[in-house]
C-alpha cells in the first residue's frame, strides 16, 4: 500500500461477512491494519458467490472483490470447541474484533465481551446488526433492503408519482460500515486512556436513520412527513434534473447569489425580477410556478451549451453519466479513481488522500482459506495439528 499507514501494527480479527463489516475492515486495511478474515470452511463469505459479474483473473465475484482487499483469510469453524479455542487464540493478539452475528448467536457461541476481554484485555469489540439489541425479535436478520424500507429511506426515494424505491447501491450497508470504522478508530485513540475492553454496537436501521440527516431532522422539527421529491430537493430550488433541447442536466443553485447568476444567462429577465423567486424560501414555496419556467428556458439550448455557460457564471451543474462514463471522466481529469492491486486486479481506490497519497491496500482479496496454515503457524499450531484439524472439518 502507499507509504502513509497510520494503522500499522493494529491487528483486526474480522468475523463479519457480506458488506457492512467487510467494508469497515477494508477501510482499516487500507489504512495499514493487519486484518485476518475468518470464514466458514467450504462456503466462506457468501458474497464470494454473488455474481455475475466475476473478476476475469481470479474468478471471484466483483462484489467480494470490492470490500475484501488487503486481508488474510482463515477457513475456521468456530462453532466447535476446538475452533473456538483457535478463535480466541487469534483474538489474543488482536486489537479489534468485528462480527455481524445475531446477538443470540454470538451469545450462544460464547463470543461475549468478557470472553474476548479475557483473551485480549483492552480489545475493541464491534458488532453490526440489522436492528440493534433493543428491537425484537433478536433473531431477525438484517438486510439493506429491509433497513431502507423500515427506516423511511425508501419512502423519500423515487418518483413523486411512482412507488417508493431503494437507492441503487446498498447504501445503508455502506453507511453502517463507515459508521463502524469511525467508531473503531475513535475507540482505538481513546484506548490509550484505559486498558478495559470496549464494546461498539452499530445497526443498519440506526445508520439509515442517521443518514437521512436534514430529512430526518425535518420530521422531528415538524412532526410530519414531507412528500417524495424524486430528483428535486425539499429545501432548495432549483436543485434537480432538467431536460434541455438535447440531453439532460442537473442544476443546483443553492443560494440567492447563484440564483441571480443563473438568471443572468437564462435569457428570461422576468425570472430575476419576480419577487416570489428572489430568496430561496420564496423559490421553495413557489416551486410549482418556477420549475416549469426553468424547463422552458433550458429547452432552448443543448446540454453541452448550458453546462458551459452556467458553469461559466459559477453555478453548479453537470451531465448525468453512467458509472463507466464517470470513471472515464475521473481518469481524464487525472483523478486516481482506480488502482491496480498486486495481482493486476483493478479496483476503485479508497477516497481518502493522506499527504496527497492514495491510501489503498494493494494485496488482492484472499482466496478462501488462503492463509489458514500461515496464520495458525504464527500462533504456535504445528503442521501436524493443522492437518488433523483440517481432517476433522474444523479447518478448511
Concerning whether 269 is annotated as a catalytic residue, the answer is: no
For 341, what's the count of Cα atoms within 13 Å in the CB-facing half-sphere?
22
User: Between 204-211 and 144-151, two packed helices, what is the crossing angle to 10 degrees?
Assistant: 50
Catalytic one of 45, 95, 173, 206: 173
Between CA 31 and CA 38 the distance in angstroms is 20
Show the 3-state SS of the chain: CCCCCCCCCCEEEECCCCCHHHHHHHHHHHCCCEEEEEECCCCCCHHHHCCCCECCCCCCEHHHHHCCCCEEEEEECCCCHHHHHHHHHHHCCCCEEEECCCHHHHHHCCCCHHHHHHHCCCCEEEEEECCCCCCCCCCCCCCHHHHHHHHCCHHHCCCCCCCCCCCCCCHHHHHHHHHHHHHHHHHHHHHHHCCCCEEEEEEHHHHHHHHCHHHHHHHHHHCCCCCCCCCCCCCCCCEEEEECCCCEEEEECCCHHHHHHHHHHHCCHHHHHCHHHCCHHHHHHCHHHHHHHHHHHHCCCCHHHHHHHHHHCCCCEEECCCHHHHHHHHHHCCCCCEEECCCCCEEECCCCEECCEECCCCCCCCCCCCCHHHHHHHCCCCHHHHHHHHHCCCEC
Q: Three cell numbers at 165?
A: 424505491
Backbone angles phi, psi at 395, to 5 degrees: -110, 155
Give me the active site residues, please.
Answer: 173
Amino acid at each position: 500500500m502507499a507509504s502513509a499507514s497510520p494503522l500499522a501494527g493494529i491487528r483486526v480479527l474480522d468475523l463479519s461477512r457480506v458488506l457492512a463489516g467487510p467494508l469497515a475492515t477494508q477501510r482499516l486495511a487500507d489504512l495499514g491494519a493487519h486484518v485476518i478474515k475468518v470464514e466458514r470452511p467450504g462456503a466462506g463469505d457468501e458474497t464470494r458467490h454473488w455474481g455475475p459479474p466475476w473478476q476475469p483473473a481470479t474468478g471471484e465475484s466483483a462484489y467480494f472483490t470490492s470490500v475484501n482487499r488487503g486481508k488474510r483469510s482463515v477457513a475456521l469453524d468456530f462453532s466447535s470447541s476446538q475452533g473456538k479455542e483457535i478463535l480466541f487464540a487469534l483474538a489474543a493478539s488482536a486489537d479489534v474484533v468485528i462480527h455481524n452475528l445475531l446477538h443470540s448467536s454470538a451469545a450462544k457461541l460464547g463470543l461475549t465481551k468478557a470472553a474476548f476481554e479475557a483473551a485480549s484485555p483492552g480489545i475493541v469489540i464491534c458488532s453490526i446488526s440489522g436492528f440493534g439489541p433493543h428491537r425484537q425479535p433478536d433473531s431477525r436478520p438484517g438486510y439493506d433492503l429491509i433497513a431502507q424500507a423500515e427506516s423511511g429511506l425508501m419512502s423519500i426515494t423515487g418518483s413523486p408519482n411512482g412507488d417508493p424505491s431503494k437507492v441503487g447501491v446498498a447504501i445503508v450497508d455502506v453507511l453502517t460500515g463507515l459508521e463502524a470504522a469511525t467508531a473503531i478508530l475513535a475507540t482505538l485513540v481513546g484506548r490509550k486512556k484505559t486498558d478495559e475492553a470496549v464494546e461498539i454496537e452499530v445497526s443498519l436501521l440506526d445508520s439509515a436513520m442517521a443518514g437521512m440527516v436534514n430529512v430526518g431532522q425535518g420530521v422531528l422539527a415538524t412532526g410530519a412527513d414531507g412528500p417524495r421529491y424524486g430528483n428535486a430537493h425539499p429545501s432548495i430550488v432549483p436543485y434537480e434534473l432538467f431536460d434541455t433541447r438535447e440531453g439532460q442536466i442537473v442544476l443546483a443553485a443553492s443560494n440567492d447569489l447563484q440564483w441571480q447568476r443563473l438568471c443572468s444567462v437564462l435569457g428570461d429577465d422576468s425570472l430575476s425580477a419576480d419577487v416570489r423567486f428572489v430568496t430561496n424560501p420564496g423559490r421553495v414555496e413557489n416551486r410549482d410556478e418556477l420549475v416549469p419556467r426553468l424547463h422552458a428556458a433550458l429547452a432552448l439550448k443543448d446540454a453541452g451549451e448550458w453546462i458551459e455557460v452556467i458553469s461559466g457564471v459559477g453555478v453548479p451543474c453537470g451531465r448525468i453519466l453512467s458509472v463507466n462514463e464517470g470513471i472515464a471522466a475521473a481518469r481524464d481529469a487525472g483523478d486516481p479513481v482506480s488502482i491496480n492491486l498486486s495481482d493486476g486486479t483493478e479496483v476503485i481506490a479508497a477516497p481518502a488522500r493522506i499527504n496527497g497519497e492514495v491510501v489503498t491496500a494493494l494485496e488482492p482479496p484472499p482466496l478462501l482459506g488462503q492463509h489458514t496454515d500461515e496464520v495458525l503457524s504464527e500462533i504456535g499450531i504445528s503442521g501436524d495439528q493443522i492437518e488433523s484439524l483440517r481432517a476433522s472439518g474444523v479447518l478448511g
